[in-house]
A = this chain, B = another copy of it.
Amino acid sequence: MLHRLTLQGRSCDELRQLASERRALAASKDGNLRALLLNEATLLEFYGELRAWMDRTAMPPSQRAAQAIAATSHRSSAFDLSPILSTFARRMGLSLADQRSLLSISQARNVAKGEMIIEEGGSSVPLLLLCSGVARATRTLEDGSQQIVAVCLPGDILNPGDFVLGRSGISISTLSSALVLSISAPELHLLLQQQPTIVRGLWRETAWRASVQREWLIWLGRKPAEARLAHFLCEVASRSLTSGRETDDFEFPLTQRELGDILGLSTVHVNRVLQQLRNSKLVDLSRGRLIVRDRVGLYQAAEFDPTYLELPER
């Protein structure tokens, strides 16, 4: 009943128009049909965004990303390009031309919640950019316990160091449905030869990630459970803010088990500490939403200083 849309050749406005039609239609339905319609709408919006951005930066629109999206069509997640672009510009310090080149050779791919994106130990892995959704990098130990070593938000590069190391030391999987852009290693290699300035951007992103990891190391080694959790929440809230929204209310699809795997704690203990934070009116965390009630108090409890997340302008 839903015929496949042709995306190519449509103008940005046309695409937005189509998207809002889908949304309107969705409002009158429910269940799976509604979900499908909404998904199509977000895809259309994504393509519209991409198109608009490429027009803005005066480039003949690349069909690659669009094609890939048309192919994987159903099941996508809410989306816009701004987190990725903001990372390109602010954190990696890339020129518009470099941003454009990266996007133009990237393939888009929808990933379902809980799906594995790359396996530990793989070699010649593509560079992966997270457009929407949340992902984690995990190591599983022999006894079955897990440690999450990174949480990626929209705009983050999932594996910034893998390309130079020539392998991935860790598995990455999604915590929500997500849209991922991927650039194959050979193609990236070529691009970096043509535009060597991009190398420095990737280096910067790798270093940024390392400095985030360093903070994790510090609280894992030296802080008690409550401060650990508070610090992690501060980090997530702070990173979410800089990548867009302005509220103190975030989507936060982590279970308590996953929080435990981040903080090196048991699920039970995470639960108790979470209640302490709730009771002291610092944060509220339930049903996949994180609400910061007292930002200053939370920062204090965590000894959180956000400067490590910021980069000086170049």
| Interface of A toward B, CB cutoff 8 Å | 123, 139, 141-142, 145-147, 149, 160-162, 164-167, 169-170, 192, 196, 199-200, 202-204, 206-211, 213-214, 216-218, 220-223, 261-264, 303, 308, 311-312, 314
A–B Cβ pairs within 8 angstroms, 5 of them: A146-B222, A149-B218, A166-B312, A216-B217, A221-B261
Specify which of B141, B203, B210, B220 is in contact with A264 (CB 8 Å cutoff). B220
Query: Could you tell me if A165 and B208 are in contact, using CB atoms closer than 8 angstroms?
Result: yes
For the complex formed, measure the closest distance between the CB of A82 and the CB atoms of chain B, giving whole angstroms.
23
Query: Could you tell me if A142 and B303 are in contact, using CB atoms closer than 8 angstroms?
Result: yes
Query: Could you tell me if B196 and A147 are in contact, using CB atoms closer than 8 angstroms?
Result: no
Specify which of B149, B170, B312 is in contact with A167 (CB 8 Å cutoff). B312
A314 and B123 alpha carbons, distance in the complex (Å): 13
Chain B residue at smallest Cβ distance from A197: B196
Q: Please indicate which of the listed interface residues A142, A196, A204, A211 has the most CB atoms of chain B within 10 Å of its own CB.
A: A211
A160 and B199 alpha carbons, distance in the complex (Å): 15
Chain B residue at smallest Cβ distance from A139: B218
Query: Could you tell me if A161 and B220 are in contact, using CB atoms closer than 8 angstroms?
Result: no
Give every chain B residue within 8 A of A139 (Cβ-Cβ).
Answer: 214, 218
The 10 closest A-B pairs by CB, nearest first: A161-B207, A221-B264, A203-B203, A210-B210, A220-B220, A147-B221, A164-B204, A196-B196, A166-B312, A147-B222
A109 and B213 alpha carbons, distance in the complex (Å): 30
Query: Could you tell me if B161 and A206 are in contact, using CB atoms closer than 8 angstroms?
Result: yes
Give every chain B residue within 8 A of A261 (Cβ-Cβ).
Answer: 221
Query: Could you tell me if B200 and A206 are in contact, using CB atoms closer than 8 angstroms?
Result: no
For the complex formed, measure the closest distance between the CB of A134 and the CB atoms of chain B, giving whole angstroms.
19
